[in-house]
């Protein structure tokens, strides 16, 4: 099966009825196409469509090819000044956009991001772009935390030796005695889920982005006692790709800062092997081409 779902490219051919794009347009490719008639799609939540065809999800082939066929309404034009590399980064950025919309992030919010991997970094960056006054990143890798400073971090902390309660206490100190209005859990780790619930203020919101085990244990009393919102997050939906492109074009989110490695198209296999062998070092690897 062909891999790849974070891609951009140039339109080289169109069907007779296509009106939204033309040959020569530079575009970001949204990789998931729902059934146009499902209830979820009609409700405006097409990311939840059970009949979704998503690139590189069996049995659907991915985008790591010279020519890829896409519906016109799942292409977003790249403005002048936005590179193909930046266009390929729109896919994970859209996850961050969707998560922030779900949480309702607005000016002055105190935000905590658990996990400073690719999606965590971008989610924090979007929170700052949406107006959050504090964005605290926690991770166990110092190199990721150093990079978080380019993605809107106001505070960073290595959580490798902290219990969930100690992490919550640290957040409270960093935020001047306050818990977080909004928490984005981006690791999927049990300990981070537990910590996220403790870090969230009464009446606050935690968005679960990270994918860990199918089943986990956490304190439901924490959720009920605080009357907090615990929201699931799955990919992105209507308008998120478009808004992600706008954030890049406006300079409000610098996705180039997350690109750590590059490989040529013919070396794609080596790129995947490299990522597996250097999991703590890699943030985003770009495969360029083909010519």
Query: Domains in the chain, start-ordered, CATH in brackets?
Result: 7-92+237-288 (3.90.180.10), 100-232 (3.40.50.720)
Please check the confidence at residue 55 and state whether its pLDDT lies above 80: yes
pLDDT band at 280 (very low <50, low <70, confident <90, very high): confident
Cα separation, 107 vs 127, in Å, equals 9
**pLDDT in the model for residue 117:** 93
The Cα–Cα gap between 183 and 206 comes to 5
Give the burial class of 14: count Cβ atoms within 10 A of its Cβ; 0-12 exposed, 13-18 middle, 19 or more buried: middle
222-275 pLDDT, tens digit per residue, is 999 999 999 999 999 999 999 999 999 999 999 999 999 999 999 999 999 999
pTM: 0.96
Length of the chain: 291
Distance, in Å, from the CA atom of 279 to the CA atom of 157, rounded to the nearest integer, reads 20
In percent, how much of the chain has pLDDT > 90?
93
pLDDT in tens, 174-210: 999 999 999 999 999 999 999 999 999 999 999 999 9
Report pLDDT digits (tens) over 87-121.
Answer: 999 999 999 999 999 999 999 999 999 999 999 99
Contact 180, 136 (CB under 8 A): yes
Q: Which residues of 243-258 are buried (b: 16+ CB within 10 A; e: fewer)?
A: bbbbbbeeeebebebb
Cis peptide before 290 (omega within 30 of 0): yes
Q: What is the reported pLDDT for 290? A: 85
pLDDT of res. 289: 87
């Amino acid at each position: 099966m062909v891999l790849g779902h974070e891609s951009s490219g140039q339109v080289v051919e169109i069907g007779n009825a296509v009106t939204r794009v033309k040959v020569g347009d530079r575009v970001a490719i949204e990789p998931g196409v729902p059934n146009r008639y499902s209830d979820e799609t009609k409700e405006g939540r097409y990311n939840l469509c059970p009949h979704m065809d998503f690139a590189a999800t069996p049995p659907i082939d991915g985008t790591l090819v010279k020519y890829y066929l896409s519906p016109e309404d799942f292409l977003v034009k790249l403005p002048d000044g936005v590179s193909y590399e930046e266009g390929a980064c729109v896919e994970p950025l859209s996850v961050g956009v969707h998560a922030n919309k779900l949480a309702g992030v607005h000016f002055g919010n105190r935000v905590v991001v658990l996990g400073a991997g690719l999606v965590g970094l971008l989610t924090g960056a979007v929170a700052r772009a949406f107006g959050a006054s504090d964005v605290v990143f926690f991770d166990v890798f110092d190199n990721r935390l150093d990079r978080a400073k380019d993605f809107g971090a106001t505070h960073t902390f290595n959580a490798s030796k902290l219990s969930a309660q100690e992490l919550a206490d640290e957040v409270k100190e960093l935020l001047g005695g306050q818990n977080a209005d909004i928490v984005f859990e981006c690791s999927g780790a049990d300990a981070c889920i537990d910590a996220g619930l403790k870090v969230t203020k009464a009446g606050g919101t935690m968005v679960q982005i990270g994918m860990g085990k199918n089943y986990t244990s956490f304190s439901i009393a924490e959720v009920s006692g605080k009357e907090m919102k615990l929201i699931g997050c799955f990919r992105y939906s209507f308008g998120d790709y478009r808004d992600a492109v706008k954030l890049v074009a406006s300079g409000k989110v610098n996705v180039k800062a997350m690109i750590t490695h590059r490989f040529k198209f013919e070396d794609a296999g080596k790129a995947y092997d490299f990522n597996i062998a250097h999991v703590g070092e890699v943030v985003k690897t770009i495969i360029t081409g083909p010519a």
